[in-house]
Amino acid sequence: MGITDILGYLGALLIGVVLGLIGGGGSILTVPVLVYLLYINPVTATAYSLFVVGVSSLVGAIKNIQKGLVDFKTAIVFSIPAFIAVYATRKYLVPAIPDELFTVGNLMVTKEIGIMVFFAIIMLLASVSMIRGRCKNCNDDDAEVAYNYPMIVLEGLVVGVLTGIVGAGGGFLIIPALVMLAKLPMKKAVATSLLIIAIKSLIGFIGDVENLEIDWYFLLAFTALSGVGIFIGIWLSRFIEGSKLKKYFGWFVLIMGVYIIFKELF
C-alpha cells in the first residue's frame, strides 16, 4: 500500500468526520479523494460517491427520525422526481456521454475531464452556500407546511440530474428548496434533506450496478471508514462549534474546486 492509498483511506475517515461535525458537505470531498488519491476513474468515482453519500445520509436520517425531525410527506414529494432523475442519469445519460466531447486549441476535453470540471463548478456553488451560511428566508419557526408542488417536482428533477452526474448529495440545493417551497422550519429541512439524499443516492447507485463493475470489498471498506469518521465527528462536535467550522470548510471546498478546474484544464 503506497502513501497515496493511505492518504485516500484517511480521506474516507475525514469525509465522515466532516459530516459528523457540520451535518453535511463532507461528501463533496468523496470524488476528489477517489480520483486524485486512489486513482479511480471519474465515472466509477461518482458511482462510488453515490453509495458513500447514500449510506452516510441514511445514518444521519435514522438519527433524525428517532428525534421526530423528519417530515415524511415532504421527503416523499421531493424524492420521487429526484430518484427517477438520478437513476435515469446514471443508467442512461452518463453512459451516453461520448468519450471525447470537444477540442479547445490543443486541449481535447474528454468525458472524464468534463465530469471533473462540472463537479468542480458544483463544488464552487456549494462552497458559496457554506460560506454565506443560512439563506435569508430560512428560519426555525414552526411555520405551517405549504407545498408548491410544480416547483418541488422541478427542483427534484434538477437536483436528481446534478446528483447523477457528479455523485454529490446536493444538500446545498435541497435545504433552501425545502424551506422556501415546502415552508419547512430549518431544523426539519436539514433533517428531511438527509432522508431525500439517502433515497436518491442509493437508488441512483442501482443504475450503476447494472452498468459498472463494482469493487465491493473496496467500496464497503471505504464506506465503513467514513461511517467511523461520522461517529468521531459527532463526538468532536461536543467541543467544536459546527456552524463556525462550516464557513472554514466552505473556503477549503472553494480552493479545491478552483484547483480541480486548473488541474483538469491547464
Domain coordinates in residue numbering, the chain: 3-265
- pLDDT at residue 254 is higher than 70: yes
CB 75 within 8 A of CB 156: no
- pLDDT at residue 225 is higher than 90: yes
* Chain-centre distance for alpha carbon 150: 24
Burial zone of 54 (CB within 10 Å; 0-12 exposed, 13-18 middle, 19+ buried): buried
Bigger pLDDT: 170 vs 8: 8
Q: pLDDT of 1-43, one tens digit each?
A: 788 889 999 999 998 888 777 766 667 889 999 999 999 999 9
Q: Which residues of 78-112 are buried (b: 16+ CB within 10 A; e: fewer)?
A: bbbbbbbbbbbbbbeebeeeeeeeeeeeeeeebbb
- pLDDT at residue 147 is higher than 80: no
CB 173 within 8 A of CB 155: yes
Cα–Cα distance, 27 to 25 (Å, whole number): 5
- pLDDT at residue 156 is higher than 60: yes
